[in-house]
Chain A
Amino acid sequence: MALKSVESQSPRAPVGSPDASERELLERIARSKDQVAFRTLYSSYYQRLSRLLARMSVRREDIEEVINDTFWVVWTKAGEFRGASQLSTWIIGIAYRRALNALRRAKIRPVSDEPFDEDSISVMSTDAAETDGQWLALGLSRLPVEQRMALELTYTLGHSCEEVAAILDCPVNTVKTRLFRARETLKLVLPDLAGMTGDKS
């Protein structure tokens, strides 16, 4: 797999940052096939990738396959990582492309896109957070996978616009457009959200 260069977009991580310590693990893997370093890196990404792949509608039983395919690449290509981008951008980008390719080839089955049952949202719930969460799930279910990914990468994993573009392998302006559309769709679904934005001039 060709390694993606985002040299002009992402500065090197400062020494002592999470990325710097992850790079050190990768260097140990590349240099001496260090299993402890590999296990540590795997552990630090397992839940992040699980969540991201679930958001891509990859079935739970297939998530492990995509993660392991991703880390197979990390193990075999560790020495080819040039350090021009954040390590997380590289690893998450591999996982995203693996999952997307697999979904497109129907090698793995997406979670059913059955229409969300709006009646299942309890309007009588006294737990506002729970109700908001149900509405959010409804809103997210109506977004194309690329828009869901842009939201997840931005709001859950905290990536910059440039990093999201590198992971999703698209121009920065495309990321902005996807997020813009996702925001508009969510406003149609999330009543409180729509009410808070005020009138557009």
Chain B
Amino acid sequence: MSSRIPDTHAEAWALLPWLANGRLPATDREWVEAHVAQCAECRGELDAQRRVATQINREKLPDPAGTEEQRSFNKLWARIEASESAAPSASIAAGGSVSRSSRTLRWLAAAVVVQGFGLALFGFNALRSNHSDGGFVTVADVPAQRLNAPALRLVFSPEASMASINTLLTHQGLSIVSGPGTSGNFTAELSAEAQASGASADSVAAVISKDPNVTFAQPVAR
């Protein structure tokens, strides 16, 4: 910055907020402070702006608690993991080789069946719920607004068969309630029986994430 020395009151007046917050560059600060020292009007304004700054900082705005921050981060992380888990299957589908296409088709067929089951349940739940929220939502957000039980977000391996998925879900007391999302993720709720036996979304996620048929499992924040 050049070392010009403006002498106009208006220029100093415009820069007073940054003299008040201490972020005026040294080259400007020197001449603005010199002007303020001999200008009563600017001194009054500087004092007034410092009061405004103090008041603005005092004002209470929504100040999310740590639990909200953790819940928000969990939602973002689920979105990231679902997206990154789905990326390899998308590249496989684009690969074009016979064996890969065959695997993809098998996966898609399984997904359609699971989706049909999930959509039936999802439709039932949607009819029961008062779904009037006009706000914008993300993939990770959709199911969480309509869940009736502890739930997990799941992405299955492209290698997983329909039978193995069914066995896995039944064994863990899970029912698909929505999916697949745009990232290939499903949402599954924990049955009342599983909950009664002490299972939680966290414990089931810990177990199911080790299953080779599952590439991603995370509890859904409610």
Which residues of chain B are near A109, meaning CB under 8 Å?
A: 134-135
B64 & A176 in contact (Cβ 8 Å cutoff): no
Q: How far is the CA of A42 from the CA of B17 in the complex (A)?
A: 29
A180 to B15, CA, bound (A): 9
Q: Is the CB of A102 within 8 A of B73?
A: no
Say yes or no: A196 contacts B63, CB within 8 Å: no
Stretch in contact with the other chain, from A12-20, A62-70, A89-97: A62-70
Which chain B residues border A159 with CB–CB below 8 Å?
23
Q: Is B222 engaged at the interface, CB distance under 8 Å to the other chain?
A: no
Per-residue CB contact flags for chain A residues 185-201 toward chain B (1 = under 8 Å, else 0) read 01100101100111111
State in angstroms the CA–CA spacing of A8 and B52 once bound together: 30
B197 in the interface (beta carbon within 8 A)? no
A-B contact count (CB 8 A): 129
Are B55 and A132 within 8 A (Cβ)? yes
Contacting B69 at CB < 8 Å: which of A43, A133, A151, A183?
Answer: A43
Contact of B48 among A43, A163, A196 (CB under 8 A): A196
B30 at the interface (CB under 8 A from A): no
Q: Is the beta-carbon distance between B56 and A196 smaller than 8 angstroms?
A: no
In the complex, which residue of chain A has the Cβ closest to the Cβ of B56?
A155
B45 at interface by CB-CB < 8 Å: yes
Q: Which residues does chain A contribute within 8 Å of B113, judged by CB atoms?
A: none
Which segment of A49-57, A77-85, A117-125 sits at the interface?
A49-57
For B136-159 the 0/1 string (1 means CB < 8 A from A) is: 111001000000000000000000
Q: B55 contacts A201, CB within 8 Å?
A: no
* A window 93-148: CB within 8 A of B: 102, 107-109, 129, 132-133, 136-137, 140
Closest partner residue, chain A, to B64 (CB atom):
A50
Where chain B touches its partner, the secondary structure class is: helix
Given A43-B69, A160-B23, residue A51 in contact with residue B47 (CB < 8 A): no
Give chain B nearest CB distance to A94 CB in angstroms. 14
A154–B72 touching, CB < 8 Å: no
Q: At the interface, is chain A mostly helix, strand, loop or mixed?
A: helix
B61 and A67 within 8 A (CB): no
Contact B136 A196 (CB under 8 A): no
Is B200 close to A, CB under 8 A? Answer: no
Contact of A176 among B14, B47, B61, B62 (CB under 8 A): B14
Contact for A46 among B15, B44, B52, B69, CB less than 8 A? B69
1/0 per residue B31-68: CB within 8 Å of A? 00000000011001101110111011111111110001
Q: Contact at B55–A136, with CB atoms within 8 Å?
A: yes
Q: Which chain A positions have C-beta within 8 A of B135? A: 59, 61-62, 65, 108-109
Interface residues of A (CB under 8 A from B): 35, 39, 42-43, 46-47, 50-51, 54-55, 59-65, 67-69, 71-72, 75, 102, 107-109, 129, 132-133, 136-137, 140, 151-152, 154-156, 158-161, 163, 176, 179-180, 183, 186-187, 190, 192-193, 196-201
Task: Add 18 more A-B contacts to A46-B72, A60-B62, A179-B14 (CB < 8 A).
Answer: A35-B77, A42-B76, A62-B136, A65-B141, A68-B76, A72-B76, A102-B136, A108-B135, A132-B55, A136-B56, A154-B18, A154-B23, A155-B20, A156-B57, A161-B15, A161-B18, A190-B52, A197-B48
Interface residues of B (CB under 8 A from A): 13-15, 17-18, 20-25, 40-41, 44-45, 47-49, 51-53, 55-64, 68-69, 72-73, 75-77, 79-80, 134-138, 141
Task: Give the 3 A-B residue pairs with the shortest CB-CB distance, closest first.
Answer: A155-B53, A160-B23, A198-B44
